[in-house]
């Protein structure tokens, strides 16, 4: 079921808010759930699972694609979806490189970027009617 990004005058349905919150929490767990003590560096399960060569990156790419599918359900258009897919492709592609990949995952955070792309689009749509 495709949902529409609510405009400024529209009420946000509970299903829309629940799905957006669920996707946001999943992206947070994958990209920045933990913090390295005494630093501002945050990381999640993506770089941890990505340590497993090839299989870890493929699993994380599949989860990232699930997030994109949910963001698409929340109203992401074709261009926005294309940008999200590029983020996942970059993350998965560089993630395949041993040692460099998990370190790259610490800082790139494709899932958080993708959720931010949709939330920026939501803000624009809600402001447009003002």
- Inside any domain, residue 90: yes
* DSSP H or E run through 42: strand 42-43
Number of independent structural domains in the chain: 1
- Inside any domain, residue 117: yes
Q: Could you tell me the residue range of the domain that residue 39 belongs to?
A: 14-128
Radius of gyration of the chain (CA): 16
Q: What is the pLDDT of residues 49-80, one digit of tens each?
A: 989 988 999 999 999 999 999 999 999 999 99
Cα torsion at 41, 46, 48, 51 (round to 10°)? -120
**pLDDT (0 to 100) of residue 87:** 97
- Inside any domain, residue 85: yes
**Which stretches of the chain score pLDDT less than 50?**
none
Please state the pTM of the whole predicted model. Answer: 0.90
**pLDDT (0 to 100) of residue 130:** 55
Q: How far apart are the C-alpha atoms of 98 and 45, rounded to whole Å?
A: 17
| Helix axis angle, 110-128 to 55-73, nearest 10° | 10
**pLDDT (0 to 100) of residue 117:** 97
- Inside any domain, residue 7: no
**pLDDT (0 to 100) of residue 94:** 94
- Inside any domain, residue 5: no
- Inside any domain, residue 44: yes
Structure tokens given for 9: 């005058």
């Amino acid at each position: 079921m495709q949902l529409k990004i609510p405009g400024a005058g529209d009420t946000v349905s509970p299903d829309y808010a629940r799905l957006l919150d669920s996707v946001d929490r999943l992206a947070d767990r994958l990209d920045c759930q933990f913090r390295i003590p005494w630093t501002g560096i945050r990381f999640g399960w993506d770089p941890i699972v990505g340590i497993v060569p090839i299989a870890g990156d493929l699993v994380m790419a599949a989860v990232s694609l699930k997030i994109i599918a949910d963001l698409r359900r929340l109203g992401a258009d074709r261009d926005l979806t294309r940008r999200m897919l590029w983020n996942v492709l970059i993350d998965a592609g560089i993630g395949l490189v041993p040692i460099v990949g998990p370190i790259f995952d610490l800082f790139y955070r494709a899932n958080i970027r993708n959720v931010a792309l949709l939330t920026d689009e939501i803000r624009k749509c809600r402001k447009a009617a003002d």
